[in-house]
Structure 1
């Protein structure tokens, strides 16, 4: 695979995530016309239309959605390989959770986790939506719900207690 194609595929992933060539260009530190040019090169190389241009941004074609899934996974694997090569004796543990759990629970437990797992680099990611383990390099996701999620094994951590809280003058 030549470097031009690899570069175009990286630009494609960013453009597909942003659905806007201008925002993608900001993230990539290139001009919007360079993003557009690279996407046209990629479409020509693959002989498939990837984007439908709209007045405010772009939309992915069905073919682009299929390509995005595979290319995103491949870049995640490359990133993981690079990290392993840079720190071969250190493993990475990536935990995703809703922002309130990250800030109120996990951050307070970081020192304890680090003591239990001294050879791990621990990273927390705040996100509201359910993790797609096939597309994201995330090891576990702490989430509220019924535990029935596709392509995931769920373990119940605790019961949730919910009760109303009112101001005193609301008696």
Structure 2
């Protein structure tokens, strides 16, 4: 059997009349006439086949049917009001989807996200981490923070933070390293960029030994392995300050080599939204306040 359409207006009038205990007061709250209130209540009574109010010498009194219906409607209208308030509160919220290199996300961005949210409470920032392999359009992103040279065809790029590389290892292992040449006696953990260790040894003025340690495609994984004492990893020191502060890693030598930098990128044919512009300005400003090298 089909259910009759619920007369939402009549249900609302009934809920107010029950709460106010008077058709006159209900009419005042709803800004209608008392006759309009009586009409809506009569319509609802006809629909359910039962009286909802009785007129007594002491005024309006709800029937058992009215008392049964009221709490259900009160809760329902309250829930609808809260939902509408949430929708109104989100009406001016702008979602920003950003792909972020995992090393940058964990080493720099995540500890500063609260500051961004305080500065831009109307931006719903959503982060998707990656190992520097990202396709902004295909993945439904607005922007991406990438590591490299910045030469990505079809993209606008803004340089953020330089990331020179230097060996990092556990404090126990570092006590065995008195000179860069001593690194030849330990396992040298490698990224997929094979020229990094030779470039660093060249900068240190030492002949590069055979590099035969394991190859990983994540700087975070390299850092974890180095912190466990498995060897020395060539890492962007600025991204692992937390590890150093915790005593998990240390930098045995001050020599570093340039390897690229982090960039904020987005498709050239995409018009920047207010949220994109705000995020860009915040990133540039925050990195400058940290005193990190950039442009």
Report the TM-score when normalising by structure 1: 0.48
Larger radius of gyration: 2
Identify which of structures 1 and 2 has the higher relative contact order when contacts are C-alpha pairs closer than 8 Å and 6+ apart: 2
As a proportion of its length, which structure holds more helix? 1
